[in-house]
Amino acid sequence: PTRFEAEPGFAENPVTVWADDDDGDAVFSSHTVTVTVYDQFGDPLAGVDVCVDVVRGPNAGVGDCGSTDANGQFAFTYWPNGTLGTDAIRVWVDLDDDGVVDGGETDTLIKEWVLGLARVLACAPTPDYNVTRTPHTFTCTLTDGAGNGVAGQTLSVDIDPGPNSGVTPTCGITNALGQATCSYTDQDADPSSLELNDYRDTIRVTHPASGARDTVTKVWFDGVAEGVVEGELLVRVTLSPSVLPAGIRVLFVIRDADPASSTTPSASFGGCSSDDEVAAASTDANDQAVSPLIYVCDWVYAGEGDNTYGDTYDVEVYWDADGDEEFDPRVDVLLDTVTFTVIET
């Protein structure tokens, strides 16, 4: 071989291009160096050893070696580590096939990693939970490749699939922090018509100017406890198939209805079960429902001889908002309360 060409001699790329759909991490743009080797007649030459290495800059240390293909070319592609700056890339072509770097066998290329129009979009909260026919609000943050907020930008939002498919949430313009607030109200006029798989809105948000995008999920539910069957030491709480998706944890608390303001649970569940699973027995006033099925719970009297037939109790159903499987009235959200009276059977 008599000569080679390495391209591009100088190039600029944005560090990041958008947020990945799956995990929200930044997707880095890549840079490719192509080396072409020619023989004395100007024809591409295969089988020539080539090495390409980043010798200076934020990505120093990356590189690869190989042989030219049938077209006389060897290509090396690398991705940045996310840091802005200038990479110096050394190209070595072993023209005399002696394995030694000689004069005239190297070239240096320059690669600039810049901000450009790179944008990353991240929206929260996801997933989020609301009672049907109420407003839902979420916040999206648009940043550049260095994590700085990008102001004055418009976002595009659509819902598909979900019970509110076709509804267009309203979003403000991004502020100095790159944040915009978006909102919409659930349009389902009949919550009881929700199917088990139809309570979840998939909300897709896009920054049209850059292609940055993210997805958030909204879960809608109706009131929870539909009824309690009266009975000695037995409480039956029915969770409608439309109210809560599997995986949302629910806490049950029994209280003496008189006084209704009592903060100390007057009873506890011991072994609350559903059709397909049994929750762990509890010694306090809480037990967990992990799917929207019918739960039958043995109720244990708290007093010793003080409870008589005819006493009235409240069953409070809470969403375990912090997911710690323990009842905390400061955090957990009361979804419904039903009242029953103990009768002799």
pLDDT for the residue numbered 276: 28
d(CA 144, CA 294): 49
Q: What percent of the chain has pLDDT over 70?
A: 54
DSSP assignment string, 161-210: SSTTTT---EE----TTSEEEEEEE---S-GGG--TTSSEEEEEEEETTT
pLDDT of 203 strictly over 90 = yes
Same domain, 63 and 125: no
Same domain, 106 and 130: no
pLDDT of 274 strictly over 50 = no
Give 261 or 236, the one with higher predicted confidence: 236
Alpha helices in 257-319 (DSSP H): none
> 141: pLDDT confidence band, cut at 50, 70 and 90?
very high
Give 27 or 288, the one with higher predicted confidence: 27
Contact 324, 318 (CB under 8 A): no
pLDDT for the residue numbered 329: 72
Q: What percent of the chain has pLDDT over 90?
A: 30
Same domain, 109 and 138: no
- pTM assigned to the model: 0.41
> HSE of 299 in the Cβ direction (CA atoms, 13 Å)?
29
Dihedral (CA of 209, 213, 215, 216) sign: negative
Contact 167, 159 (CB under 8 A): yes
Same domain, 89 and 41: yes
pLDDT for the residue numbered 201: 86
pLDDT for the residue numbered 317: 67
> 281: pLDDT confidence band, cut at 50, 70 and 90?
very low
Domain containing residue 262: 225-341
Beta bridge partners of 203: 159, 216
Instruction: Choose one of 221, 242, 259: the last residue of a domain.
Output: 221
pLDDT for the residue numbered 240: 47
The predicted-structure confidence for 51-96, as pLDDT tens digits, reads as follows 999 999 989 999 999 999 999 999 999 988 777 788 999 999 999 9
Question: Distances from the Cα of 343 to the Cαs of 294, 297, 311, in angstroms?
Answer: 21, 16, 8
pLDDT for the residue numbered 311: 55
The CATH code of the domain that includes 76 is: 2.60.40.10
pLDDT for the residue numbered 251: 66
d(CA 20, CA 202): 16
pLDDT of 156 strictly over 90 = yes
What region does 162 belong to: left with phi over 0, alpha with psi -120 to 50, or beta?
A: left
Query: Exposed (0-12), middle (13-18) or buried (19+): which is 24, by Cβ within 10 Å?
Result: middle
The predicted-structure confidence for 308-320, as pLDDT tens digits, reads as follows 445 566 666 666 6
pLDDT of 17 strictly over 70 = no
The CATH code of the domain that includes 279 is: 2.60.40
pLDDT for the residue numbered 230: 33
Instruction: Choose one of 167, 190, 221: the last residue of a domain.
Output: 221
Give 33 or 1, the one with higher predicted confidence: 33
Task: Report the chain's mean pLDDT, rounded to a whole number.
Answer: 70
Same domain, 313 and 284: yes
Same domain, 190 and 233: no
Instruction: Choose one of 221, 253, 281: the last residue of a domain.
Output: 221
* Domain tally, the chain: 3
Average pLDDT over residues 272-290: 32
Same domain, 216 and 230: no
pLDDT for the residue numbered 254: 62
